[in-house]
Amino acid sequence: MTYCVAMRLDAGLVFLSDSRTNAGVDHINTFRKMTVIERVGERVLVLMTAGNLSVSQSVVNILRERLDRSDQENLCSLPNLFEAARHVGSVVREVHQRDAAALKEFGIEFNASIIFGGQIGEEVPRLFNIYAAGNFIEATEDTPYFQIGESKYGKPIIDRVVNRRTTFEEAAKCALISMDSTIRSNLSVGMPLDLLIYERDALRVRDHVSIGPQNAYFNTIRTLWGERLRQAFTELPDPDWGRF
């Protein structure tokens, strides 16, 4: 399992992913879930994947291989994000057609989720959630973020904090707290983390950092967050049993 979250803001886009797969007592692996395709001055595209690792790696590998093919549509030839998301969805269906039946014979579900976003040319930044069937939905002003993977633990803080006017600093901080809540509650999510910031109309990645267990900032905010939660809980009024 994994956890990825992305936010579409007025200022641009924020992406955060973990790198844990196959979590278990004796078997824990690390694989990056974020893929970045950047053509400076032309387009920046980011994919984050969750679900069956062999499926998601097949999708990403096909997308990468086709970047060098002039005889096929690819993520660097398409004119806008909608067409790019449609292309990603078609590759997911292609992998499903090739592998799904064989996987089913071994009791393995064809399971893949993809967050896909970025900016092409003068088009505004856009963000999509692509499902295992290749269909997708787009982030809106009312729903400016997507999560995939082990999403339930990190959702409450995002719902309370993030909107389209949220700054990069606030959004990154919120995403990291959301990730910390998930890591604390589920063994199948773990570090290192990939955090990427894309500023609107820059057509280049602004920041892309790897956050490991010894990262000073992440350790500071996760410690302070835990302390402030306990403090807020303590300050809440106790139940007045006579009024229940």
User: Is 232 within the bounds of a domain?
Assistant: yes
**How far apart, in Å, do the first and last CA atoms of the chain sit?**
41
- Tell me 204's DSSP state: S
Please write the tens of the pLDDT for every residue from 52-98.
999 999 999 999 999 988 888 999 999 999 999 999 999 999 999 99
Domain span at residue 39 reads 3-236
User: Is 241 within the bounds of a domain?
Assistant: no
What is the number of structural domains in the chain? 1
Which pLDDT score is estimated for 100? Answer: 94
User: Is 244 within the bounds of a domain?
Assistant: no
CATH for 177: 3.60.20.10
Q: Which two tokens stand for residue 123?
A: 């088009």
Nearest of 142, 117, 121, 143 to residue 130 by alpha carbon: 117
Q: Is the CB of residue 35 less than 8 Å from the CB of residue 47?
A: yes
Q: pLDDT confidence of 234, banded at 50, 70, 90?
A: very high
Nearest of 178, 181, 168, 177 to residue 147 by alpha carbon: 178
Which pLDDT score is estimated for 199? Answer: 98
C-alpha to C-alpha distance for 52 and 99, rounded to whole angstroms: 12
User: Is 243 within the bounds of a domain?
Assistant: no
Question: pTM, whole model, 2 decimals?
Answer: 0.94
Cα torsion 207, 3, 32, 139 to 10°: value is -50
C-alpha to C-alpha distance for 124 and 187, rounded to whole angstroms: 37
Which pLDDT score is estimated for 131? Answer: 97
Q: pLDDT confidence of 33, banded at 50, 70, 90?
A: very high
Q: Is the CB of residue 127 less than 8 Å from the CB of residue 154?
A: no
User: Is 185 within the bounds of a domain?
Assistant: yes
Q: pLDDT confidence of 30, banded at 50, 70, 90?
A: low
> Across the chain, what does the average pLDDT equal?
93
User: Is 242 within the bounds of a domain?
Assistant: no
Which pLDDT score is estimated for 32? Answer: 87
Q: pLDDT confidence of 220, banded at 50, 70, 90?
A: very high
Q: Which two tokens stand for residue 68?
A: 């060098």
Query: Please, where are the H alpha helices in the chain?
Result: 53-65, 81-105, 155-161, 168-185, 216-235
Q: Is the CB of residue 196 less than 8 Å from the CB of residue 172?
A: no
Nearest of 76, 92, 179 to residue 129 by alpha carbon: 92
Please write the tens of the pLDDT for every residue from 142-177.
999 999 999 999 999 999 999 999 999 999 999 999
Which pLDDT score is estimated for 26? Answer: 52
User: Is 18 within the bounds of a domain?
Assistant: yes
User: Is 94 within the bounds of a domain?
Assistant: yes
Indicate the angle between helix axes 168-185 and 216-235, nearest 10 degrees.
Answer: 80
